[in-house]
Chains A and B, each alone.
Chain A
């Protein structure tokens, strides 16, 4: 399962990268969403998959799955949600103010030729 997961994560990263290299701002944010999914799954996979019961002591199981990656992922999910929400509103404001979502047109200050 872990080996399969490694490939799926690779595919997620690949798609995320491709989207982030595109022109549309919305697609770039979709790319970051995919990237965080990939990272979360990677964390979970690296902790080892299904080594026992869910990490609840009431289960009275012999072994439990590793609770640490889950705690880390939970933190990461919340943080990436906060950042994504911020970015999305930023993108929305950028549409409103600048009238474009094309990254090719959203360039920095004028070049000093």
Chain B
């Protein structure tokens, strides 16, 4: 086990120790024990920058299930390192924030930090695994720990609903992704991502290529809350705010982005990849930003904003991946979209994390997150206001913050799509910049709502539960750090370009040359005018918000995706209940009908399909007169039982059949059988009579069995099938009987002359032993049934 493996697993190991630490150091907030770990990990991962800078990577492998090609290979390359730094960096800040956010006395901190560490370890595993199965294992662990964290306040109905919803959707996608991984394995024979990328050419021509692509994208889209699977994310806001900040803005929702980026070298060759990733991303961008404007809960706005920003990154990845078709072009002409994606990925983590933390502070200090009750907090909480301002302006794409730069590059990338002339892009490509632009206008509007509806306007103390004041310093440090990063990355973007962005791009677009210098001012370009348009139109829309907000009422409630989800879930549950109660009706007769009908149909079809039915009369014994009589008696009695008027008649007729069968045994030369059959039939009939005699009075109304057509059809079918099987089996003799051995050796080996008895006690004595056991058990069972009467004793 290398240090790298230890780094990935260390959060899980610490998670084991947390309950103990919580128990024995009650006076210290448990978060302090957690805090050092992500900081140490962050510094540990920082040292790898020098390694990935020049595009190289390392893989460390330990065997897990080598026989199945499943090994825990940890790989550090540009992309993995970028995510690992995000996870540990934001993780440290979130843990620090949560120490001040969660009360030591009121909350169950041990479970919270166990879940949190579980998530951190899982997320590190996802981004640093080179083996698909290991990646999938960690992937499900993130879904699972996210489920636990969303349902942290499990006594709340909404938390449980949100947790269940996110679990169902992300696990649905996760399973689809597992399917995609297995398809990839079938195509390549390896689970190693690195090896797969090396063989992307042969995958591309494989017939399973498109199914694998769709399955993996389904997993990525559900996890990263892409349209229409984004519905779980707003409901996941029931989680504590540190969780929302960490999982649902900076890390887990980017796992899907990571997968798309990671598999770009394999799939990006195909037009479907471009269209799906870019198309779904741009739709998500628009829908998320459009929906965010109508929300009144600050966290809901941020949730939809996250959806929208993830859509933006997704569309950039899709568009940027198409650059591999234009290798001969200028270095950064089309790859600028990928640069923008990676850059915005970092930017989004910084400003969204800080915004969530600010919202958490507001919630903490005022007791509400509803923008209709908030307002005028600017003088009471000046630091929070500044932080929100920085975050929101960066999100809206305003200079001098980092969001401005990535937004400009986003427009550049989208505008350049129009110049691509592949995959029918020439017809539809103009839609990309237009939708992107409209989406950005709405982004501007909700960013302004977050800042100004909360901090500006009229202060309404009567609507607030508490007297608001500025948050404690510890709570402000993490968003302060993030906000300063927003400004630093905004002013000095190039400290990232060589260290993080370029190595990450090397992983996404291997073999392509590019130039990632980000210039702050690039002249009066179309992008600049687009941003100007966004600001002007966004301001107008924000100021006239009350006038046009009714537009959101236009969408019928029935078509809302949440309603579809709820209805679908309800219908699925109700439908399966209905289905089960239709065929599982509790009547034994129905079940017997199923069994017999199944038997008839399956055996009948097999006979028919295999053309197995045969009659061969060459090897039959002659029919003699009294045998025929006996057989006729059996047949007639068997049928007459059905028409017997009383049960006594049926019992007697059954006895008659039994005795006739024993006579048949006599004529067919089976003396032992005849003896046994005679005795046993006598005992059985007496038992039947015993039962008959003890019938309770009420049921004595003796009536003939009622005729039912289905019963008749099924029983005739069963009889016919059995006859056909008997005939066919008798007519096809494949080999001689082994009876000759017994005839020869009964006396020689076993010193007996009765062959049947010798077989029973000597050659095949085991059967007899267990047959005796059966009788013993039956006798004991009967004795117990009669003697043991617990229910009655209880009554008495």
Contact = CB atoms under 8 A, between A and B. Distances in A.
B622 A1 contact: yes
Interface stretch (B156-164, B181-189, B470-478, B637-645): B637-645
Contacts of A107: 586-587
Contacts, number: 287
A40 B664 CA distance: 11
Interface string A29-42: 11001100110111
B631 A85 contact: no
B787 to A, nearest CB: 11
Interface in B577-634: 581, 586-589, 592-593, 596, 615, 617, 620-624, 627-628, 631, 634
A14 B622 CA distance: 25
A82 B688 contact: no
A53 B708 contact: no
Contact of A86 (B593, B667, B727, B781): B781
A15 B638 contact: yes
A15 B786 contact: no
A111 B729 CA distance: 44
Contacts of B705: 19, 22-24, 27
Interface class of chain A by DSSP: helix
Interface stretch (B198-206, B227-235, B415-423, B692-700): B692-700
Contacts of A20: 592
Interface string B625-668: 00110010011001101100001001100100110010011011
Given A11-B635, A82-B778, A92-B694, A46 B730 contact: yes
B587 A44 contact: no
Contacts of A86: 778, 781-782
Given A65-B669, A66-B739, A67-B759, A17 B641 contact: no
Contacts of A46: 726, 729-730
Nearest to A80: B680
A44 to B, nearest CB: 6
Given A14-B719, A81-B684, A111-B586, A45 B726 contact: yes
B737 A66 contact: yes
B676 interface: yes
Interface string B717-757: 01110110011011000000111001100110000111110
Given A3-B620, A9-B722, A71-B756, A78 B688 contact: no
A12 B634 contact: yes
Q: Which of A24, A68, A74, A79 has the most CB of B within 10 A?
A: A74
B714 A77 contact: no
B645 to A, nearest CB: 13
A84 B754 CA distance: 28
Contacts of B635: 7-8, 11-12
Taking residues whose C-beta sits less than 8 angstroms from the other chain, chain A's interface range is: 35 or more
Q: Which of A26, A49, A67 has the most CB of B within 10 A?
A: A67
A21 to B, nearest CB: 4
B638 A34 contact: yes
B195 interface: no
B760 interface: yes
A73 B719 contact: no
B657 A34 contact: yes
A6 B627 contact: no
A13 B722 contact: yes
B756 A14 contact: no
Interface in A60-113: 64-68, 70-71, 73-75, 77-79, 81-86, 88-93, 95-97, 99-104, 106-108, 111
Interface in B548-565: none
Contacts of A42: 722, 726
A19 B650 CA distance: 10
Contacts of B720: 10, 14
Interface class of chain B by DSSP: helix
A30 B684 contact: no
A65 B680 contact: no
B673 A74 contact: yes
B715 A21 contact: yes
Interface in B664-692: 664-665, 667-673, 676-677, 680, 683-684, 687-688, 690-692
B642 A3 contact: no
B673 A82 contact: no
Given A24-B647, A78-B676, A53 B669 contact: yes
B743 A64 contact: yes
Given A3-B620, A4-B623, A55-B754, A77 B719 contact: no
Contacts of A29: 688, 691
A8 to B, nearest CB: 5
A4 B593 CA distance: 28
Interface stretch (B10-18, B138-146, B446-454, B767-775): B767-775
Contacts of A73: 670, 673
Contacts of B1: none
Contacts of A96: 694, 696
Given A6-B730, A56-B755, 13 more contacts: A1-B621, A1-B627, A6-B723, A14-B715, A15-B638, A16-B715, A30-B688, A33-B684, A55-B743, A74-B676, A83-B774, A90-B785, A99-B699
A-B pairs, 10 with minimum CB distance: A14-B719, A10-B723, A82-B778, A17-B715, A67-B755, A55-B755, A6-B726, A18-B715, A57-B753, A71-B759
Interface of B: 581, 586-589, 592-593, 596, 615, 617, 620-624, 627-628, 631, 634-635, 638-639, 641-642, 647, 650-651, 654, 657-658, 661, 664-665, 667-673, 676-677, 680, 683-684, 687-688, 690-692, 694-696, 698-699, 705-706, 708, 711-712, 714-716, 718-720, 722-723, 726-727, 729-730, 737-739, 742-743, 746-747, 752-756, 759-760, 764, 767-768, 771, 774-775, 777-779, 781-782, 785-786, 791
15 contacts: A2-B621, A3-B620, A3-B730, A10-B723, A11-B634, A12-B719, A16-B715, A21-B592, A24-B705, A26-B688, A49-B668, A53-B669, A56-B671, A85-B778, A99-B699
